Amino acid sequence: MSLAQSALPIGISGIEKRFGAVSILSDLSLDVAAGEFLTLLGPSGSGKTTLLMILAGFVRANAGSIKVGGEEIITMPPHKRNIGMVFQNYALFPHMNVFHNIAFPLKQRRVSAAETAERVERALDLVQLKGLGERRVDQLSGGQRQRVALARAIVFEPRIVLMDEPLSALDKSLREHMQIELRNLHRRLGMTTVYVTHDQREAITMSDRIAVMNAGRIEQIDQPEVLYARPRTKFVAGFIGESSFIPVESRNGSVWYEDRKLRMNDAAPSTGRHLMVVRPEKLRLVADVGETGVNLLPATVGDVIYQGDSFVCYATLKDGRQVTLRDYCRSDVLAKLPAPGEPITLGIDAQDVVLVADQ
């Protein structure tokens, strides 16, 4: 079973959704490439499920357009959209066995018994549940149920698969295992996938691109590595990975942290106050304060927490601001771990200086 040739792009534009007087999605536009694995990531209530439901056709938007392969589908009923969907809570039929759960969408589409049997077999094989067709759903583990839900979503060879937090009910190790399985399945089948999670690590592991949602809007959409290294807003920087924010000022084409001119690769932003986004792993302890080509930040050590493979050092800058440094416990690093109360110099390289608006 390969869906690659039937994968289609999705063009979402100008979507508005209100519940009563409350605006949930406002002027939301998003293009998903054919065969892309795109994740909607955002805090609870940011509108991820609502957008997925609009794509699937279960919720009607107040305005906007959704095109699949160039064809407008915004008024098309759900069963005509040819979209597979995996809900957060599996939504399997508990009174049916695995086979009949997976066969359900085929039955709805009046596929013959012989073809249904063949397709269900192939779907079971794909999700590695061969031989479990007769098993009742309530006799399966959480991960197995999740895979049944997935098999049911892909058995009718949909052009698009939507998944709403499909792994959130699973324990950590099964979740990580399923992340890799889902990713591999996507690679093999190539279906255009819109995936929802509020687990940033899951989003980073699985996605071609991530759209970060905040209060019904998309704040930034980029590849995971770009989103992490170059967040464009304070919200994105705070939501993906850990960050400390250091206030800086841009004037006359340079950026200043107190009386120090920052070395940075990017051009200086517009005149005024900004925030420097500092990731714990981008900060380092500088032994030689004469070192050039690095931004030096004098600080005082607060707590140092040893975590086996790595350590975390909380430090306070001269202005009283807290920053966090993390590094691996290589022998050379361990030999000179700072002690609480000790004055230190932190360094951040010019290429790692990222600024966002202070708001």
Chosen from ligand ATP, Mg ion, none, partner binding at 47 (C-beta under 5 to 8 Å by type): ligand ATP
| 166 contributes a contact to ligand ATP by CB under 6 A | no
- CB burial readout 211-239, b (16+ within 10 A) else e: bbbbebebbbbbebeebbbebbbbbbbeb
For residue 262, the 8-state DSSP code is P
Which x/- pattern over 194-223 shows residues binding ligand ATP (rule: CB under 6 A)? ----x-------------------------
Q: Note whether 314 and 244 are within 8 A (CB).
A: no
- Closest residue by Cα to residue 232 from 285, 269, 272, 281: 269
- CB nearer to ligand ATP: give 24 or 124: 24
Q: What CA–CA distance (Å, rounded) separates 185 from 183?
A: 5
In the chain, the amino acid numbered 137 is: V
Choice between 168 and 300, CB closer to Mg ion = 168
CB of 158 to ligand ATP, least distance (A): 21
> Taking CB within 5 to 8 Å according to partner kind, which of Mg ion, ligand ATP, none is near residue 46?
ligand ATP
Among 48, 152, 234, 282, indicate the residue that binds ligand ATP (CB under 6 A): 48
**Interface with ligand ATP includes 167 (CB under 6 A)?**
no
**Smaller CB distance to ligand ATP: residue 196 or 354?**
196
In the block, residue with structure tokens 């704040």: 219
29: closest CA among 51, 50, 7? 51
Q: Tell whether residue 46 is a contact of ligand ATP (CB under 6 A).
A: yes
What token pair was written down for 114? 């012989």
- Total Cβ atoms within 10 A of residue 56: 18
Answer with the entry of ligand ATP, Mg ion, none that 19 interacts with (C-beta below 5 to 8 A by kind). ligand ATP
Residue 234 sits in the site that holds ligand ATP (CB under 6 A): no
- State the residues that interact with ligand ATP by CB under 6 A: 19, 24, 42, 44-50, 198
